[in-house]
Amino acid sequence: METVLSGIRSTGNLHLGNYFGAIKNFIKMQHEHRCFFFIADYHSLTTHPTPADLHQNVKQVLVEYLAAGIDPEIATLYIQSDVPEVAELYLLLGMNAYMGELERCTTFKEKARKQPDNINAGLLTYPVLMAADILIHKANKVPVGKDQEQHLEMARTFGNRFNRLYKADYFPEPYAFNFGSDLVKIPGLDGSTKMGKSEGEANAIYLADEPSVIRKKVMRAVTDSGPVEMNQVKPQPIENLFNIMKVVSSEDTVKHFDELYNKCEIRYGDMKKQLAEDIIGFTSPLRERIVEIGADNAYLSRVAKMGAEKARESASKTVKEVREIIGFKPF
């Protein structure tokens, strides 16, 4: 049996990218493996949410995980800050993480560009905390989207470095995972290559969006004036729409619009209408469960408590062993 772990930052509602990049795989894996799924609320502090928003953001992700089909009785579903052992492992791993490699990390460079007034140490050491999340349960499979690949490479580096430094064959090597297929990257509706939480209103479709909102967003998606040559290569925004269609629509639907595109007969309005309805068909049952579960605070509190207990049991065992390997001894 493999140990699987993955997380999502609590920085807002989940979107189609989160679902198809990560959550879909969580649901598939929970019955076959030892699974840990968590809400990365420590990580969310790099962008300084206000105390008034923090809890609601965590709750929203917890609700959406459950609505998507994670079974908290089977998988261990927990909130990162409920497991303080993670913070200790983060501190210990940080001693073997080098400034140069952290500064070269693509996501750090991107964040530093996006928030030049808030380049905090947490942003720089983000991959160390993520490595602690993964290594604390000695996970070897990490279902994530393509954007997390470099972070996984760093987690392997830190784990291997620890093993070498202390001459211990302790941490396994974690790998990004998508059932043997390439990692997924769901594009945005605004012509950009990635759907993301911080990319602006016109970019992402959220699982909790109302049908009217979905229709509006899809109808406004960026397109061009249409193909002018038979079988021409699709420009990015058009390719994006097809790629979103591939995950929510039937193969026949995609084929139909692809053929129209190749014959220069496509009407983007028709394609968008179909795409919006297929997204709504996919998200509606989810949205209904989100509303239902979101109203059940007693259930959520039970889930969080149970998750914290299970996660701490596994995490405290690792931290105890790591302390011994490093050489800490009780007096």
Q: Single out the residue of 40, 201, 53, 48 nearest to residue 111, CA to CA.
A: 48
Which phi-psi region, left, alpha or beta, contains residue 12 (left: φ > 0; alpha: ψ -120 to 50)? left
Least distance from ligand TYM to the Cβ atom of residue 18, Å? 4
% helix / strand / coil in the chain, to the nearest 5? 60, 10, 35
41, 133, 190, 209: which one contacts ligand TYM (CB under 6 A)?
A: 133
Q: Running DSSP on this structure, what letter comes out for residue 247?
A: H
Contact between 34 and ligand TYM per CB under 6 A? no
Contact between 61 and ligand TYM per CB under 6 A? no
Contact between 194 and ligand TYM per CB under 6 A? yes
Q: Is 111 a catalytic residue?
A: yes
Alpha-carbon gap, residue 133 to 164, rounded angstroms? 20
Per DSSP, the three-state class of 35 is: strand
Question: Could you tell me which residues come within 8 angstroms of residue 33 by beta carbon, excluding any fewer than 6 positions away?
Answer: 1, 2, 3, 4, 141
Q: Is 194 a catalytic residue?
A: yes
Q: Single out the residue of 252, 255, 251, 249 nearest to residue 274, CA to CA.
A: 249
Least distance from ligand TYM to the Cβ atom of residue 49, Å? 13
Which of residues 227 and 237 has its CB atom nearest to ligand TYM in the complex? 237
Least distance from ligand TYM to the Cβ atom of residue 222, Å? 16
Per DSSP, the three-state class of 39 is: strand
Contact between 43 and ligand TYM per CB under 6 A? yes
Least distance from ligand TYM to the Cβ atom of residue 42, Å? 9
Contact between 144 and ligand TYM per CB under 6 A? yes
Alpha-carbon gap, residue 258 to 260, rounded angstroms? 5
Least distance from ligand TYM to the Cβ atom of residue 149, Å? 9
Which of residues 147 and 277 has its CB atom nearest to ligand TYM in the complex? 147
Q: Is 305 a catalytic residue?
A: no
Contact between 134 and ligand TYM per CB under 6 A? yes
Max CA separation in the chain (angstroms):
79
AA letter at 126: Y
Instruction: Kindly indicate which of the ranges 13-21, 83-91, 164-172, 258-266 contains the residues binding ligand TYM, using the contact rule CB under 6 A.
Output: 13-21
Which of residues 201 and 265 has its CB atom nearest to ligand TYM in the complex? 201
Instruction: Kindly indicate which of the ranges 16-24, 51-59, 288-296, 301-309 contains the residues binding ligand TYM, using the contact rule CB under 6 A.
Output: 16-24
186, 218, 247, 280: which one contacts ligand TYM (CB under 6 A)?
A: 186
Contact between 8 and ligand TYM per CB under 6 A? yes
Contact between 130 and ligand TYM per CB under 6 A? yes
Question: Could you tell me which residues come within 8 angstroms of residue 230 by beta carbon, excluding any fewer than 6 positions away?
Answer: 262, 263, 264
Contact between 185 and ligand TYM per CB under 6 A? yes
Contact between 105 and ligand TYM per CB under 6 A? no
- Are the CB atoms for 109 and 124 separated by under 8 Å? no
Token digits for 267?
């009407």
Contact between 147 and ligand TYM per CB under 6 A? yes
Question: Could you tell me which residues come within 8 angstroms of residue 275 by beta carbon, excluding any fewer than 6 positions away?
Answer: 218, 241, 244, 245, 248, 249
Which of residues 8 and 221 has its CB atom nearest to ligand TYM in the complex? 8
Report the interface residues with ligand TYM, using CB under 6 A: 5-9, 17-18, 21-22, 40, 43, 130, 133-134, 142, 144-145, 147-148, 151, 184-186, 194-196
Catalytic site residues? Answer: 111, 194, 197
